[in-house]
Structure 1
Amino acid sequence: MFYLDFVRAVALAAILVIHFNATVTGYFTLPHKLFASTLPFGIYLGDFGSSLFFMVSGAALALTVPPEQKPWTFYKKRARAIYPLFWLAWAVCFSLRFLSKPGYYAAAKTPTLLLTVLGLDNFAVAAGWVGMDFACVGEWFLGSILFLYLLFPLLNQGLRRCPAGTWAAAFAVCLPVHLSGWDAQLVAIHLLEFLFGMQFLKLGGKARAGLAVLAAAGTVLCSGRDGKITCALFSLLVFTLLAAVSRLLDRPWPQAVCAYLAKISYAVFLVHHVLIQRMVERFDLAALGRRDTLFLFLIYLGGTWAAAVGLLWLHRRIQKGIAALRPQ
């Protein structure tokens, strides 16, 4: 479905912009030069992009995973899709950082390497499990989506057999967990977004329009009270609007561009943040003007694309090499 690629492209743009902003403003201690970091109602652009990704991930899985697929088969396929590229990106970036910045990981405890193996290193830091580990690629988002993947077979069966009961149970569990902060606000609210994406495929036009109206009202009512819930409602509204608007853009060129961005989005997600952090190391950020910030942004986009494509190429070469070593 074109609208899924379209939403993924919008989410990718939001994530690329927010991490550029965060880095060139010294994590928001300096004025913004090109882009704002907040949307209407005080919504953080990074939260918005992440919410769209959770929604489109739920929708994509609900669309592509056969009903009869066993949970173990699903987990194996997800692991193969996630871990090899993550481990490869980590190995490359860790090696470069380890050699160029001796002592950078001196405070990291060796057992926390297990978090990297599991893809949970950035999540662990964001959740406060550890102060320092060996994280260098990806974001907390990867850990969150891995937890949601664990629950997907259960959620999928629930939506097929009893949608109302599944939603009631999800709200009953997720809202208290989110409001209490037990999950550091990194999983529970996103489970509801993920579940919405799964449900969205089955909604008709009137139901989608009604949800959009309710989400708009909820965004206004929740604004200033809970930023994550406000963002979830706003993202639900935008997701629905993007799905509707995508019909006007469903043409060969937009299809090709969005499909390509969707194809490389995971690789981009892995490399973009470490790349911009490396790029700005020799800049005086306080003296960086608007023009040079724009130049840096364009170089950042080009560099991120090149790094993502290079990572995917290396991954394919390694896969072919391993396949060639297997006994016939």
Structure 2
Amino acid sequence: MPKRLFFLDFIRAISVLMIILYHFDLQILAQSPSANTVPGLVVFRQAIGDLGVTLFIMISGVALMTSTSARFSAIEFYKKRFLGIFPSYWIAYLAVGTALFVLRGGWVGDNDHWKIFLTVTGFDGLTLYRLPNYYLIGEWFIGFILCMYAMFPVLRRGVIERPLVTWAIVAVVFFVLHRNYDQLFVLNENRNPLVRLPEFLFGLCFIRYVMRVDRYAFGISIAALVLFAFWYPPVPIQLYGILLGIAVFCALAFIAEHVVFPVAVVKFVGSLAKYSFLAFLVHHQIIYVLLPRFNAAALTHTEVYVLFALVILLSFAVAVALHKPVEQFTNVLRRLIFVKDDARIVKASVTGFSWWMGLLGIAMFASTLYGVAHFYSPCSMAG
């Protein structure tokens, strides 16, 4: 792995561990409010899970910019993102669903079988706040990041050609939506892709603009973190989360790029990052199955640490076990999606499908923006 890319794995691994820690501590406290927990549920006056998600959004933006060439094709991009998300998501869903079916004797969901469409497309978690469905894995993040991917081609062009204008537009969208959020949306504000655009946009800009002045960015970030440790700025929590995330991200990226880590550490972090998405997908259900077997109120600090380590071990063990079938399934889909030039009919069909998927993503964003989609509009909810 080139050293210049190590910070991608470094931050990705840290962000996933933050999210697992957050859900672990919440489950422990749900079972017993006075139970011992792993320290770190709140850092810099921010829930560690929220910070982990912010870092994950930013690193997703960085990864997209580093993996796309100058000769960018939106169609090719959507194909690659499809392969990067859905094979892992579908296989993890089937594996977790089957395991829970054996353990509990039933499948999640109800008799409204049309809702399986929300699961197949990855939007079951994002829409769970409106109605029960077949959700099992991925939280709200899968549908959320798919919306971000839908906007990437437009944002990428803005970052390259008109970065200041792009930032101005995103800032206006953020502040207008935040100020009028309750009148426009029912969805939790932290889960709305439009509200989280600044974090994604920062990731898109990081390599191109921030890395050029990384020493200055690091110094400013450390100063900001010292300030945040003692003072909470009088700004909305969403804006504070963005500022804190940028400071932590810049600090971690600088450390990863300028500190010489042992080869064993680099390989270990690379392995964590490699399996992090699958571990993220399954960790919550592992927590739900494992933790209720213990009396949380009676656990000592040491026992809580051991239990947390076990959750991490099981999450990544399942990820390793699923990686091979995911890889094989991805290769099959890749052969279907990336066809040879002489396969004109198949190529035309796949291209048409890709266009429709892109248009669907854009339409979803438009409906979200105006608050008219069924799952987002408070008006339709009242009807």
TM-score w.r.t. the length of structure 1 is 0.88
Q: How do 1:156-235 and structure 2 match up within 5 A?
A: 156-181=156-181, 182=185, 184-185=188-189, 186=191, 187-202=193-208, 203=210, 204-205=212-213, 208-209=217-218, 212=221, 223=233, 225-235=235-245
Q: Which residue of 1 aligns with 2:253?
A: 243
Aligned match of 2:52: 49
Residue 26, structure 1, aligned to residue 26, structure 2: no
Partner of 1:300: 311
C-alpha separation in 2, matches of 1:268 and 1:289? 26
1:2 counterpart (3, 6, 11): 6
**Are 1:260 and 2:261 an aligned pair?**
no
Distance in 2 (alpha carbons) for counterparts of 1:70 and 1:271: 32
Residues 104/228 of structure 1: CA separation in 2 closer, same or farther (3 Å cut): farther
Which position in structure 2 is the counterpart of 1:316?
327
| Residue of structure 2 aligned with 1:283, choices 271, 287, 294 | 294
Classify the secondary structure of the residue corresponding to 1:281: helix
Q: Which moved more, 1:312-321 or 1:85-94?
A: 312-321
> How far did 1:289 drift?
2.4
Q: In 1, distance between residues paired with 2:166 and 2:244?
A: 22
Structure 2 match to 1:15: 19
Is structure 2 residue 151 aligned with structure 1 residue 151? yes
CA distance in 2, matches of 1:216, 1:283: 37
CA separation in 2, counterparts of 1:59 and 1:323? 24
Task: Tell me if the contact between 2:276 and 2:316 (Cα under 8 Å) persists in the aligned partners.
Answer: no
CA contact under 8 A between 2:225 and 2:244: conserved in structure 1?
Answer: yes
CA contact (8 A) 1:208 1:240 kept: yes
Preserved contact between residue 5 and residue 258 of structure 1 (Cα < 8 Å): yes
- Report 1:78-117 matches (<5 A): 78-102=81-105, 105=108, 107=110, 109-117=112-120
Alignment check: 8 A CA contact 1:113 1:133 kept: yes
Q: Distance in 2 between matches of 1:19 and 1:106?
A: 22
What is the root-mean-square deviation in Å for CA atoms of aligned residues?
2.7
Point out the structure with max Rg over C-alpha.
2
Q: 1:188 to 1:30 in 2, by over 3 A?
A: farther
TM superposition shift of 1:276: 1.4
Change (3 A) 1:288 1:104: farther
Change (3 A) 1:143 1:30: farther
Could you tell me how far apart the structure 1 residues matched to 2:115 and 2:307 are? 34
Deviation at 1:88, TM superposition (A): 0.7
SS at match of 2:69: coil
1:58 to 56, 61, 65: 61
Mapped to 1, the partners of 2:234 and 2:105 lie a distance apart of 43
Gaps of 5+ in 2: 336-383
Q: Which amino acid aligns with 1:9?
A: A
Q: How much has 1:139 moved relative to structure 2?
A: 1.6
- Residues 217/166 of structure 1: CA separation in 2 closer, same or farther (3 Å cut): farther
Q: In the alignment, does 2:126 pair up with 1:133? A: no
Instruction: After superposing the two structures, state which structure 1 stretch, 191-200 or 88-97, moved more.
Output: 88-97
Query: Deviation digits for residues 54-96 of structure 1, max 9, x if unmatched?
Result: 0111011111111322112111110111001101111111122
Q: CA deviation at 1:316?
A: 3.2
TM-score under structure 2 length normalisation:
0.76
Q: Which residue identity is paired with 1:81?
A: G
Structure 1 residue 299: deviation in Å?
1.6
> CA distance change for structure 1 residues 223 and 267 in 2, over 3 Å: closer, same or farther?
same
- Residue identity in the other structure for 2:130: W
Look up the equivalent residue of 2:144 and give its one-letter code. S
* Alpha-carbon distance in structure 1 between the residues aligned to 2:290 and 2:327: 27
